[in-house]
Amino acid sequence: MSINKKEFDITGMHCAACVKRVENVVSKVEGVASVKVNLLTRKGSVDYVEGAQVGSERIIEAITNIGFGAVEADETKQEIEKVDLKPHIIRLVVAACMAVPMMINMTLHRFGIVALPVWAEFVLATIAQFGPGLMFYKSAWSAVKNGALTMDVLVVMGTTVAYGYSIYNWLFVPELGSSGIYFETSAWLITFILLGKLLEEVAKGRTSEALQKLIALQPATAHVFRDGEFIDIPTSQVVAGDMLQVRAGEKIPVDGILTDGYSTVDEAMLTGESLPVEKNIGANVIGATINLSGTFTMEAKRIGSDTMLSQIIKVVEEAQTSKASIQRVADIVAAYFVPAVIAISAVTGLIWYFLVGSDLNTALINATAVLVIACPCALGLATPTSIMVGSGLGAEHGILIKSAEYLEKAGKLNAIVMDKTGTLTQGVLNVRAFTNYSGDESENMALMMALESGTSHPIAKAMVYYGEDKGYKGKEANIESFADVPGKGLEAVYNGTPVQLGHSRWMGELGCDLSVVEAAITQFEEQGASVSLLAVDGVVRALWAVEDELRSETVDVIKRLQSQGIDVWMLTGDNRRTANYMAQQAGIFHVIAEVLPQDKASKVKELQNQGLTVGMVGDGINDAPALVTADIGFAIGSGTDIAVEAADIVLVRNDLHTLVQAVRLSKKTMTNIKQNLFWALIFNCIGIPLAALGELNPMIAGTAMAFSSVMVVSNSLRLKRAKL
């Protein structure tokens, strides 16, 4: 069963209960498999079964029917729409202008001074209640008529009780005097809730700064060759195949190939490498990197959403929209939160009036305090704000996390399996030694080059380069029936004679006499080199020893991972002697050697069956199955496209230190989420009982509620300063 995806921009959501309503109604649309809505990014991701008649109109209709706005997201649009703060500011200013005079009047009352008559307070409170406060009534009505209870319902109930009860006392119980008037309470509640919302919007905007920085890297214009000359056009209008001119100091507009000229390019924004990279004709150039010297011409290959930068932005956006499993705590609580608060408020009023024996005034005020202290918003923001900041921080460090699920899991790993060649090592192989045992050396070298030219394996490339450097030509050997034997080597027919080139284990299986080369094989393998043997008609003729060096950071990275309680395993197809030598150099104690490419995934599965949470780090095509099998697959950014596609986390900078940073980022993000959930829950667990006991004035309760969400978002923003 194939799953397709649609994404929507959703407006009008205020809290976790809103998110739950949208998810519930969309999930009931026939053909929808799953739906994830993010309060922070205001985006909804809908998975539906391929072939199902799930039109965007049906989903939009379902969302709008419950009082929210929705449009299908433009996938080609790569910019973050900034929330217009002007309406928020206007509402806040109007509400404050109504509330402040009443607060001054209330203060003067203590000194026996009456600055405002009750009718003036009524006018000011009415403007606040149905001017700036009208938005709460609209949202609450939309929710209630669709059978839902949201934070807006709590706000409307709390402020309406204070406002309505004040009118009742003013008109029908005048003997209570000022003690029965709470117009300032309703106006002040609206003012502080609006202030909290404004601060929340400002803070939420700051959580997307990392993504905004990525988007800002895209150059606005490009010099395109049209009608015999280079003209400036918007980068968005460049098409594949266009010839572009890039001058010194300019950003490269799109991904492509250098066709004329020479330059050095600053690719730090992508790789983190501070040294410029030389670019000659035929070299790949990446959009948004900076041309440091000289003017060159390039052919556009990948444009728009296909460029590497656009793909990075897309991955970050998807990670920020996704949900971590820990968010289920907030979702479950949010589903029952508002109904429970309303029930507690009602019980509070009844207990104070009937059991405690207080007057109606006290009972209503305490019940109102319960309504306004409760804050489901903080719960709804606790997880997505941390995920957004965490994934953005990862992108800044060259760590592309494809989903919140992987950001959550990475910190739980207790075993990491690492491919050897190109991951632990530099992947740049050199022939260390060559020995010709029998036959003509030129013929043997030509046979080797003819065979190795048929594959793209790093060892093959190193050996062919060695032959070319020595002046030999592989084309001189006319081979037939070429075959690649996975995990063993290469074979063909030469002048009617079978020829094999591969490792010593395979030669042993073929029945070749290895006595002449055995000592050399042992010596080279114990020194970390991989040995390839050439056999013609069952006789070993020549030996090549190929070696690779560890990355400069490998030893330090292994130590850091082990210090965090993570066991590191080296996985390789090399013979055990070579593998053990390289593992010893790297400081790795667990080695899985002589593994065929197709068996790598099963080795990862064996570790998982031992109860380990396993991460796999690789860069090659043959690593892809293992990357998928592992709990978390890490792909080295310089690896193959297949490996990058199969991985859950991509280490763009081709630096193993980012692996350590990814694990640390996961732990810090999860700690941040737990802190947010704790503060959101403890705020309500302490505040609601205090309000029910009559220990909180509604104005104080409303002020606290308004700032609880700001506190959660501010705590998430602390993650931006985390050291990885």
Q: Which of the residues are catalytic?
A: 419
**Please, which residues bridge with residue 618 across strands?**
635
CA 347 to chain centre: 44
Cα 374 to Cα 57, 688, 702: the distances in Å are: 36, 6, 9
Closest CA to 403 of 19, 10, 20, 34: 34
- How many C-beta atoms lie closer than 10 Å to residue 681's C-beta? 16
Exposure string of 162-176, with b = 16+ CB inside 10 Å and e = fewer, is bbebbbebbeeeeee
Which residue is it, tokens 């609006």? Answer: 194
CB contact set of 555 (below 8 Å; sequence gap of 6+): 585, 586, 587
Please provide residue 14's backbone torsions phi and psi, each rounded to the nearest 5 degrees.
-120, -25
H helices present in 458-534, as ranges: 458-469, 504-509, 518-526
DSSP one-letter string for 146-198: TT---HHHHHHHHHHHHHHHHHHHHHH-GGGGGGG--HHHHHHHHHHHHHHHH
Whether 298 and 259 have beta carbons less than 8 Å apart is answered as yes
Please provide residue 377's backbone torsions phi and psi, each rounded to the nearest 5 degrees.
-60, -45
Cα separation of the two ends of the chain: 40
CB contact set of 423 (below 8 Å; sequence gap of 6+): 617, 618, 619, 636, 656
Identify the helix (H) or strand (E) that includes residue 221: strand 221-226
**Cα–Cα distance, 622 to 624 (Å, whole number):** 6
CB contact set of 224 (below 8 Å; sequence gap of 6+): 230, 231, 232, 233, 238, 242, 243, 244
Tokens (6 digits) for 562:
């082990």
**Cα–Cα distance, 115 to 105 (Å, whole number):** 6
Which residue is it, tokens 């450097």? Answer: 469
Cα 412 to Cα 415, 564, 662, 666, 668: the distances in Å are: 9, 11, 11, 8, 12
Which residue is it, tokens 């020549």? Answer: 542
Identify the helix (H) or strand (E) that includes residue 546: strand 539-547
Burial tier of 238 (Cβ tally within 10 Å: 0-12, 13-18, 19+): buried
